Amino acid sequence: MGSTRIEFHSSIPAISEEWLRLEKSLANPSIQNDYVLLNAWYACYLAGRKPAFLSLWDGKTCLGLYPFTLERKYGAKVFNTLYHESFSISKPIVAAGYGEFYFRELIRLLQEQHGKWDVLKFSSIYCFEPEAGLLASAFESNNTKFFTIHDRTYVVEIGDSFEEYCQTYLSKKTRENLDRLERKIAKQDSKFVYYMNYEALPHMGRFYEMENTGWKKESGTALLNMKDNLVYSESLIHACCLSGKFFMAFLEIDGVKIAGQYGYIEDGVYNGLRTAYDRDYAMFGPSVILIARTLRLLIDTFPDVKLLNCYPLSYGYKQKYAHDRCECNTHVLFSNNIKGQLLSMAYKIKMSKKATT
């Protein structure tokens, strides 16, 4: 390799040509590397911040781009990777075969160019994503000092059988409740159906309708009540359909869809984005049955899927069906300049106070 360098960019048009070139060059780019989806994130979630990108170059060749937001706090320039609690997106787009090199050089060069940034956050790096290991290796090889904000995400490691899942993840009480609900719904004309990619789109209206009947409506978290989330979610769905990764499942009684969920399958992980049920059918425990049927389907029909990602935040039910042993951490770097070091000291004091309370 020749002499590498990083460049800072402050707009999407400034990086669009290189982003699209990199995306086209990848055999199986991540959903989170989709250029249209990238634009949708910035359109929906900037909230007063500015777009920012870090590119790594070897001569005239761009090896990768990392999307960030930039905001000023206490006069400091704070860069944060893109993140949403329901739609994780903390991913750079990197030329094939350059992952380890990209992260190592990015961290090295950032430490040399400390005048251009004060704080840099790599938010919610999921432990099962390649970026987690690559970033950890880059920190180690560059002797980088950083702070970690520890968090967890709910996951199910999918084994060889549904029975194995039940014994591993479900308490005796939860297993008994599932058996009771299965017996109850067996007395109905019920059916479990699933759709892949564009064949799912005609059923999105019913999903939104169901989601807007229960606790999500009351809490204001149903997509129909959250314009930005709805716009971004629809962009994400279309990106998933276009790449052949979208999955949607429903539980029906008498031909009526009473519960549904959707997500996407990528790199052996089913990312379960949203779940909904019709409150009028709550007596059947439809979301519980739906989770069980979906896991059975993944085990029997999608053998390459080894992990179900349920995302952080329990909402009072995820801990019953998944575990939270998978880390979803945020790594914080402070620049070696004066502002960065002052903020680093302030952060240490804040964390020490938290530890003693």
- Predicted pLDDT at 352: 75
Report pLDDT for 137.
Answer: 94
Compute the average pLDDT of residues 161-185. 94
Question: String of b and e for 16-26 (b: at least 16 CB within 10 Å)?
Answer: eebbeebbeee
pLDDT tier at 353, thresholds 50, 70, 90: confident
Q: How confident is the model at residue 160 (pLDDT cuts 50, 70, 90)?
A: very high
Identify the pLDDT of residue 219. 85
Run of H or E residues at 227: helix 227-243
The whole-number pLDDT of residue 27 equals: 93
Given the DSSP bridges, would you call strands 269-277 and 307-311 parallel, antiparallel or unpaired? parallel
Q: What is the pLDDT of residue 90?
A: 73
Average per-residue pLDDT for the chain: 92
Contact indicator for 321, 291 with CB cutoff of 8 Å = yes
Mean pLDDT of 54-58: 96
CA 70, CA 238: separation in Å to the nearest integer? 28
Q: Are 84 and 232 in contact (CB under 8 A)?
A: yes
Of the candidate ranges 28-42, 152-166, 301-315, 340-354, the one whose mean pLDDT is the lowest: 340-354
Q: How many helices (DSSP H) and strands (DSSP E) are in the chain?
A: 12, 14
Q: What pLDDT score was predicted for residue 196? A: 98
Question: What is the rounded CA–CA span in Å between residue 70 and residue 103?
Answer: 20
Q: What mean pLDDT comes out for the span 86-96?
A: 84
What token pair was written down for 350?
Answer: 């804040």
pLDDT average, residue stretch 180-190: 95
pLDDT for 37-47, tens place per residue?
A: 999 999 999 98
Question: DSSP letters of 144-190?
Answer: ---EEE--EEEEEE--S-HHHHHHHH--HHHHHHHHHHHHHHHTS-E
In the chain, what percentage of residues exceed pLDDT 70?
Answer: 98
Q: 51: phi > 0 → left, psi -120 to 50 → alpha, else beta; which? A: beta
Q: What is the 3-state secondary structure (H, E, C) of 258-294?
A: EEEEEEEEECCEEEEEEEEECHHHHHHCHHHHHHHHH
End-to-end Cα, the chain, rounded Å: 50
* 191-205 b/e (C-beta count within 10 Å ≥ 16 → b): ebebbebeebeebbe
Could you tell me the domains of the chain? Answer: 4-152+327-356 (3.40.630.30), 159-305 (3.40.630.30)
pLDDT (tens digit per residue) in 196-233: 999 999 999 999 999 998 788 888 889 999 999 999 99
Q: What is the pLDDT of residue 356?
A: 66
Give the residue-averaged pLDDT of 9-38.
95
Q: Residue range 117-124: average pLDDT?
A: 92
**Measured between alpha carbons, how far is 66 from 131 in angstroms, rounded to an integer?**
12
Answer whether residue 317 shows pLDDT above 90.
no
pLDDT score, position 16: 97
Give residue 21's pLDDT band: very low, low, confident or very high (50, 70, 90). Answer: very high
Using the predicted structure, report yes or no on whether residue 312 has a pLDDT greater than 80: yes
User: Does 329 score more than 80 pLDDT?
Assistant: yes
Confidence class for position 1, pLDDT limits 50, 70, 90: low
Q: What band does 316 get if pLDDT is binned at 50, 70 and 90?
A: confident
Residue 355 has pLDDT above 80, yes or no: no
For residue 324, what pLDDT is reported? 79
pTM for the structure as a whole:
0.91
